[in-house]
Amino acid sequence: MDELDRYHDLEGQSSHQGQTESTVPRKTTFLAIAVVLLVVALIGMVIAAVFAVSADGSSKTRPRNLIFVLADGTSPASYTFAREMSNFNSENPSPPLPLDQYFVGHAKTFSADHVVTDSAAGATAYSCTQLTNNEMVAVTPEGRACATLLEAAKKQGFMTGAVTNTRVTHASPASFTAHVPHRDSEQDIASQQTYNFSQSLDLLMGGGKAEFDERDDGVNFIEVLKSDGVKVIYTPDELQDLNTLPAVGLFAESHLDYEIDRMRNTPRTQPSLSEMVAKTLELFQKDGRKFILFIESGRIDQAAHANDPGAHYWEMNQYMKTAQVLEEFVGMNTETAVFFTSDHATGGISTGRRYNNDSYPEYTWFPNVVLRQTQSMAGMTLRLMKGEDLQTVYLEETGIDLENDHPEAYAELTGRTPTDNLQYKSALGFPLTSEAMIGWTTIGHTGVDINTYRMGVDISSIKGVVQNYKIGEILADTMGLVEALEEINEKYKSWTFDLTDISRGIQKMVKYHEDL
Ligand SMILES: [Zn+2]
């Protein structure tokens, strides 16, 4: 019975009962009540849609869109380092980083089986809202595929995307878009991203083209994507012109270049992370549907693995440019929440170090030394591998006279065969690192808590120090994805991997969307 029917019935009833006439005409009174009831009901529906009650009972605003940003391998000291570096040549004595004002707190990063996590378990904690073992990509410690935020989002009618400057098949983006028991199965990840594209993604951008078209199985997955109606692009110009979804951008055979190297190329052969993100937001906005977007600034980590200060800085700089693009977007799209976090810290970078064992250190470090660096240690290593002269390359790209100012390091490096591995690259970076008074403790990850930030709609229950998977849980709850995650996990109960032979589980892949 709608409100108008109710009015007629009540009108007839009251007449029969011979009630006293009100001073306000009865018909008008009932109409007014009906309108009020309707308005109250509508307001209630709007409030229910905008606010969600979380598990702890607190109500919070529900954003329409969510952008989740993972700054891979970024330690709290990376932010200090980047701030002081960008401050060095500035008129302003202490310009903040674009993210400084959005600081929330810290996240603990340990995985299910290691006190220091890797990127697979680190990203899975967020994507599957649970801890798993190192090297596992959206798979539980028991070997079962676990539903990801992007899969749940797609099921709930969100548009979804994943953008990175590493290979799209690398551990972090893979943990949101595929399921393998070991992160090294990147060809399997590419095949899942292809065959399951429509159930988890509208857009995928980054590097890693070779994982799709130079495969051991001989299948060209780029052709498979195209035959499924997905637009595939490879260059910055094609990115500029892109105006349709679904789309995949594969801008490099492997990872995109370090930003410090990418900037050297004229004309530019690859887009920057911020350019990929800006285009993604433009396309999502044009489409108009609600969306959940995963962004990874992935090479901050790799530069820190190589103990390469210049590469680390320019990756942080590009990450901050991406943050500015997002800041501008949420300024105009106020129903969007952006959450920034990291999977772990890498390299153990510090600003200030002991220069040698004989003296007490000066309380300083030298950003200007790092600012002189114009090529990554990886880029210099490749040149040395091709036979270029160490002294010449180092002087050209760092301004440091290796032979005269660092004779010990020069002797050590000339005695080694240039090799594309972290040990060589970190040794190559050591003279610059020590002149800059930058410290590194490892070529691996560290277990320190990492920074979290947020922009846009207040996701107020994320604050202080939280375990990484809790952030995933809160985001899933905030975006209304909990039930969808549970439903997909129910489907995935049969998608288990034989952990003694990681390649066999792939054949049991479950397409949960087949009977949606
Ligand atoms: Zn790493």
Ligand 1 centroid, distance to 133 Cα (angstroms) = 15
Ligand 1 centroid, distance to 443 Cα (angstroms) = 9
Rounded to the nearest angstrom, the gap between the alpha carbon of residue 84 and the centroid of all alpha carbons in its chain is 24
Known binder of ligand: residue 54? no
User: By CB neighbour count within 10 A (0-12 exposed, 13-18 middle, 19+ buried), where does 106 fall?
Assistant: middle
Residues of the chain with pLDDT under 70: 1-61, 93-95, 501-516
Beta carbons within 8 Å of 39's beta carbon, 6+ residues apart: none
Known binder of ligand: residue 172? yes
DSSP string over 418-455: --SSHHHHHHHHHHHHHHTTEE---SSEE---EEEEEE
Furthest-apart CA atoms within the chain: distance in Å = 111
Known binder of ligand: residue 301? yes
Beta carbons within 8 Å of 362's beta carbon, 6+ residues apart: 355, 437
Which pLDDT does position 356 carry in this prediction? 74
Give pLDDT tens digits for 316-355. 999 999 999 999 999 999 999 999 999 999 999 999 998 7
Q: What architecture does CATH give domain 70-349+453-502?
A: 3-Layer(aba) Sandwich (3.40)
Ligand 1 centroid, distance to 120 Cα (angstroms) = 9
Which pLDDT does position 442 carry in this prediction? 96
Beta carbons within 8 Å of 4's beta carbon, 6+ residues apart: 34
How far is the C-alpha of 402 from the C-alpha of 394, rounded, in Å? Answer: 7
Q: What element of type H or E holds 36?
A: helix 26-50
Ligand 1 centroid, distance to 344 Cα (angstroms) = 8
Give pLDDT tens digits for 107-129. 999 999 999 999 999 999 999 99
Known binder of ligand: residue 343? yes
What are the sequence ranges of the domains in the chain? 3-18+25-53, 70-349+453-502, 351-439
Q: Point out the catalytic residue in the list 75, 119, 297, 342.
A: 119
CB contact at 8 A, 370 and 353: no
Which pLDDT does position 372 carry in this prediction? 97
Which pLDDT does position 509 carry in this prediction? 42
Ligand 1 centroid, distance to 277 Cα (angstroms) = 22
CATH of 351-439, one of 1.10.60, 1.10.760, 1.10.10, 1.10.150: 1.10.60
Which pLDDT does position 307 carry in this prediction? 97
E strands in 87-133 = 103-108
Ligand 1 centroid, distance to 7 Cα (angstroms) = 68
The ipTM assigned to this model is: 0.97
Q: At 73, which amino acid appears?
A: G
Known binder of ligand: residue 72? yes
119 is catalytic: yes
The token duo for 459 is 């996701």
How far is the C-alpha of 65 from the C-alpha of 51, rounded, in Å? Answer: 14
How far is the C-alpha of 199 from the C-alpha of 326, rounded, in Å? Answer: 26
Known binder of ligand: residue 255? no
